[in-house]
Structure 1
């Protein structure tokens, strides 16, 4: 099997875990989202430390926090990703998994917009149309349901912000995520201590719940490692296509398994988002082919006969 094929399988694995994770958190409906988030953070930190130790890269962790600038970036990234995790877990508990899937469909378009705002990346006409169509879809859903889809917006904006912040970090994804959860771990321990001091903690009540809370950390870490593996072996265009598997699985779980309401307004908004993503993806593929064609032409013209 080629490295590219392994990368695609890793990306499919990561997106499948992310897309089906709602089924897991649904089984922890009796545990408050903040407690799940604390365990997810703490056990994820321990798992990442073990991974870096096994890889012999633990020495790289202090460097990710060495300067005031890198520390500030990592601290902000840790806040944004913890907000994303918390809102996603809460959406499952509040039966808003459909809206959560909408947020992850919007995310690629929000990321494009943030690239233009923060890194002055030039948007093509197709990308502008896609972003505008996504924004219109949110307006349509807000007017139709008479409520702003805050879950979708927070998930999309927080994850796009996280991506924009991470772009300025020189460290690899696994090391930087470990640095992020290392800053969150003391807060998680403090909150868990407070929760258990009140007698409200669920860890230790029964074996199944305790194991599920601990495994939430592994459920967080494994797809990130798979994603990191994939990004080194396949093109960004391929990653962009495969990542739609995540919100698609979330949408299927929400509508077919959780049986959440899916109104006419949802259908219109999702249809507009899917159309925007189709335009964006087609444009990205065309640009990718044009770049590869230009690179081949340059290579050919530079050949000495």
Structure 2
């Protein structure tokens, strides 16, 4: 029992570390001001792949990677994951650079509910009545921004649906999170190298602007992988329901940073849409949590 409590404590520490780091990403990507989001994305793919080579070697995790690479027919799902995660990364970097952190935050608040909707529509999963209510409320929040505020919150929608689609295809991949991310970035690596060569040849690359800029771009690999390692440590020690509840820390931190660091305006309409999303998340999380508790006691 004491060992279980100790492991649970470690799991919560790992989980908090992962989600707090992800939540602080706006502060990191704001440092890339003046560098196009597309170029930052290229370097993030390349240096994540390089950094993960060292991590996987250190942890001796090559067997699952090799097993995946010798089955090219099964790499289609991994490639789909790679495309959706690249879209998610690119749009998120763009959101921070253009000071749309509130929209990014809303996108990640919305992601769990998008996952529910995708499971219902694509995988034919069943949901409870209260979870269905949560999805309807979240949909109403987006429609409110779309029709009453007079603009399409495309950053929110792209982030939510790209990450939701990533999760959908990730269910088909047998690789663990660390190995899966490495294979995903490995599949994107040739395209990233070609794009980097094009930028360098055309004189548009910022990598050689200064040693500080080069180090900042190089650091994107470690910044991408380290929270994932913490997350892996959390998922091995905690129940899925606990991990799911902890994930709301990330968009909450982003929301606070948008207001108090990036000074983004929060109109009554935006605030109302956020409140609708929070209500939907509370309904969904409560339904999922108590459902698991009832299942555990029967």
In the superposition, the TM-score normalised over structure 2's length comes to 0.96
TM-aligned CA deviation for residue 68 of structure 1 = 3.9
Q: Which residue of 1 aligns with 2:285?
A: 281
CA offsets 1:27-85 (integer angstroms, 9 cap, x no match): 11111111100111111001111111111122321322333442111111100000000
Q: Which residue of 1 aligns with 2:213?
A: 209
Q: Which residue of 1 aligns with 2:160?
A: 156
Q: Which is worse superposed, 45-54 or 109-118?
A: 109-118
Q: Which residue of 1 aligns with 2:231?
A: 227
Q: Secondary structure at the match of 1:2?
A: helix
Determine if the alignment matches structure 1 residue 176 to structure 2 residue 180: yes
Which residues in structure 2 correspond to 1:1-305 (within 5 Å)? Answer: 2-294=6-298
Q: Secondary structure at the match of 1:133?
A: helix
Distance in 1 (CA, whole Å) between partners of 2:242 and 2:64 is 29
Distance in 1 (CA, whole Å) between partners of 2:138 and 2:40 is 31
Distance in 2 (CA, whole Å) between partners of 1:66 and 1:263 is 53
TM-aligned CA deviation for residue 186 of structure 1 = 1.3
CA offsets 1:145-201 (integer angstroms, 9 cap, x no match): 211101000100010111111111112111111100001111111111110111111
Stretches of structure 1 that go unaligned for 5 or more consecutive residues are: 295-305
CA contact (8 A) 1:61 1:175 kept: yes
Distance in 1 (CA, whole Å) between partners of 2:21 and 2:191 is 26
Pairwise CA RMSD of aligned residues? 1.1
In the superposition, the TM-score normalised over structure 1's length comes to 0.94
CA contact (8 A) 1:4 1:233 kept: yes
Stretches of structure 2 that go unaligned for 5 or more consecutive residues are: none
